[in-house]
């Protein structure tokens, strides 16, 4: 998964990824969870696959107002998050667990290095994952350290003492924030690997927020009341996410729940959203629905399989170029100005 000598075109990256992923991912023309429904472990959505499929459907149902009588020719895509200037409001989502999800077709360390390094090269940063095998978290931390702290580890909701130990590792690696994928509460198989997980009470969250000087992100919030709890208990950010449809069957699409959640907490905490973001137009839609920034998961993993770090960077750059055009075509001079006015009702 090393750096390719010359960065191939996106079509070639996807062709190579399909070959190298050996059926784990079909690299479909439209990545919407239909072909891989039920493939967890793997790249799909859990159960019927409805959560992943709904993410894509709900996003596709959003239509945009095209506006072209203005002077927005050079929109500004930059944002500042956790004190870091980023070239675009798009971060890499944690995609990890090669032993269970990718039949070990790649090493955990190589995948993490490609995701974190590629996002860094494209002017943004990636989140890294955690799992039952210690090397999942450790590979992410090593990649973040290697990138000079440009990465955010997302930790599984195990006992607080274990999470706090991992916070210390994140602090030492120079990470600008830490997170917990609270929606991994139902991963019962983690107990078999000696790393049990479960739901976090408001009291747990308060203890965790107070245990680190870094901003705390809660990933996997799908209702306004839980967004409120996150804000009240000291979280600095949430990710509105159904874990790419991998945590619970039959959740709504993120685009459906995001406006209500943004109304509840936007401005008090950072609101990220993820699920089925494939283009800059998708980014624009989630921002218009209330997100401050978005995460992209599966397409970056495909980039990593296709051309390593350079492949990840290329996928992010394609989304950036598409977002720039989408902002011109909706008359948005900056990320801040993307709002409900771009949504056709
Ligand atoms: C193979 C795979 C592994 C994942 N591993 C993690 C993980 O370790 N931690 C986590 O918080 N989310 C994990 N996710 C969820 C993603 O971070 C993200 O929420 C989701 O994939 C976003 O949807 P998208 O892939 O359609 O962009 C994983 C997703 C996939 C497909």
pLDDT digits (tens, 9 = 90+) for 5-31: 688 999 999 999 999 999 999 999 999
CB 284 within 8 A of CB 294: no
Confidence of residue 182 (pLDDT cuts 50, 70, 90): very high
Ligand 1 atom closest to residue 41's alpha carbon, by position in its atom list = 1
CA dihedral (272, 74, 84, 148) in degrees, to 10, reads 110
* Chain mean position to CA 205: 21
Residues 249-260: what's their mean pLDDT? 98
Tell me whether residue 70 is exposed, middle or buried, using C-beta atoms within 10 angstroms of its C-beta: 0 to 12, 13 to 18, 19 or more.
exposed
Q: What is the structure's pLDDT at 101? A: 95
Report the C-alpha gap between 292 and 295 in whole angstroms: 11
pLDDT of residue 193: 86
* pLDDT score for 5: 61
Position 188 confidence tier, pLDDT thresholds 50, 70, 90? confident
Whether the predicted pLDDT of 2 surpasses 70: no
Q: Which of 246, 294, 305 to mutate to test the pocket of ligand 1 (most atoms within 8 A of CB)?
A: 246
The pLDDT value recorded for residue 248 is 97
For the chain, the straight-line distance linking the first and the last C-alpha, in angstroms and rounded, comes to 44
Q: Please state the CATH superfamily assignment of the domain spanning residues 10-333 in this structure.
A: Aldolase class I (3.20.20.70)
Cβ pair 187, 101 in contact under 8 A: no
What does the pLDDT average to over 244-260?
98
Task: Give the pLDDT mean for 50-62.
Answer: 98
Residue nearest to atom 15 of ligand 1 (CA): 243
Give residue-wise pLDDT tens across range 84-102: 999 999 999 999 999 999 9
Atom of ligand 1 nearest to the CA of 179: 11
Q: 268: part of which helix (H) or strand (E)?
A: none
67 Cα to the center of ligand 1, angstroms? 34
Which residues are within 8 A (CB) of 298 and not within 5 positions of it... i.e. 6 or more apart?
A: 25, 31, 43, 95, 244
Name the closest-CA residue to atom 3, ligand 1. Answer: 95
Collapsing DSSP to helix, strand or coil, 238 comes out as: strand
Cross-strand pairs, 293: 272
Overall average pLDDT of the 69-78 stretch: 98
Q: From CA 57, how far away is CA 92, in angstroms rounded?
A: 22
Q: Which atom of ligand 1 is nearest to the CA of 130?
A: 8
Residue 260, pLDDT > 80, answer: yes
Rounded average pLDDT over 299-303: 98
Helix (H) / strand (E) containing 109: helix 108-121
Question: If you average pLDDT over residues 319-331, what whole number do you get?
Answer: 98
Mean pLDDT across 307-329: 98
Mutate to test the pocket of ligand 1, among 95, 103, 239 (most ligand atoms within 8 A of CB): 95
* Cβ-contact 133, 193 below 8 angstroms: yes
Sequence ranges of the domains in the chain: 10-333
Query: What residue owns the CA closest to ligand 1's atom 2?
Result: 95
Q: Ligand 1 site: residues with CB under 6 angstroms?
A: 43, 93-97, 101, 129-131, 154, 181, 219, 241, 243-244, 246, 274-277, 296-298
Tell me the three state secondary structure of residue 324: helix
- pLDDT tens figures, 105-127: 999 999 999 999 999 999 999 99
Across the chain, what does the average pLDDT equal? 97
CA atoms within 13 A on the CB side of 72: 22
Share of the chain above pLDDT 90, in %: 95
Contacts of 136 (CB under 8 A, 6+ apart): 96, 97, 108, 129, 130
pLDDT of the residue at 261: 99
b/e sequence 202-241, b meaning 16+ C-beta within 10 Å: eebbbbbbebbebbbbbbbbbebebbebbbebbbbbbbbb
Q: How far apart are CA 151 and CA 205, in angstroms?
A: 22
At 281 the pLDDT is: 98
Q: What is the pLDDT of residue 318?
A: 98
- pLDDT, residue 192, reads 83
Would you state the pLDDT for residue 111? Answer: 98
Segment 272-291, tens digit of pLDDT: 999 999 999 999 999 999 99
The answer to whether the CB of 305 falls within 8 A of the CB of 20 is: yes
């Amino acid at each position: 998964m090393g750096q390719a000598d010359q960065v191939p075109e996106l079509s070639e990256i996807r062709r190579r990824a399909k070959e190298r992923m050996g059926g784990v991912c079909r690299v479909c023309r439209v990545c919407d969870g239909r072909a891989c429904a039920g493939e967890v472990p793997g790249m799909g959505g859990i159960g019927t696959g409805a959560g992943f499929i709904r993410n894509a459907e709900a996003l596709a149902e959003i239509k945009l107002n095209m506006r072209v009588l203005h002077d927005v020719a050079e929109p500004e895509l930059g944002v500042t998050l956790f004190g870091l200037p980023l070239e675009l409001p798009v971060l890499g989502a944690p995609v990890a667990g090669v032993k269970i999800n990718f039949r070990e077709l790649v090493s955990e360390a190589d995948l993490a290095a490609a995701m974190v390094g590629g996002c860094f090269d494209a002017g943004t940063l990636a989140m890294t994952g955690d799992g039952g095998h210690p090397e999942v978290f450790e590979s992410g931390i090593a990649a973040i350290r290697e990138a000079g702290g440009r990465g955010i580890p997302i930790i599984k909701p195990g006992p607080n003492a274990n999470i706090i130990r991992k916070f210390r590792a994140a602090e030492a690696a120079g990470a600008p924030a830490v997170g917990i994928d609270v929606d991994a509460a139902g991963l019962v198989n983690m107990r078999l690997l000696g790393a049990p997980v479960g739901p976090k009470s408001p009291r747990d969250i308060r203890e965790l927020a107070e245990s680190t000087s870094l901003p705390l992100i809660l990933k996997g919030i799908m209702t306004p009341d839980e967004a409120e709890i996150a804000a009240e208990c000291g979280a600095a950010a949430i990710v509105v996410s159904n874990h790419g449809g991998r945590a619970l069957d039959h959740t709504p699409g993120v685009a459906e729940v995001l406006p209500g959640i943004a109304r509840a907490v936007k401005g008090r905490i950072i609101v990220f959203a993820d699920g089925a973001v494939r283009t800059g137009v998708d980014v624009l839609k989630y921002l218009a629905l209330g997100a401050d920034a978005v995460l992209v998961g599966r397409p970056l993993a495909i980039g990593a399989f296709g051309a390593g770090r350079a492949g990840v960077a290329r996928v992010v750059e394609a989304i950036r170029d598409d977002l720039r055009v989408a902002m011109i075509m909706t008359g948005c001079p900056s990320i801040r100005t993307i709002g409900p006015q771009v949504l056709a009702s």
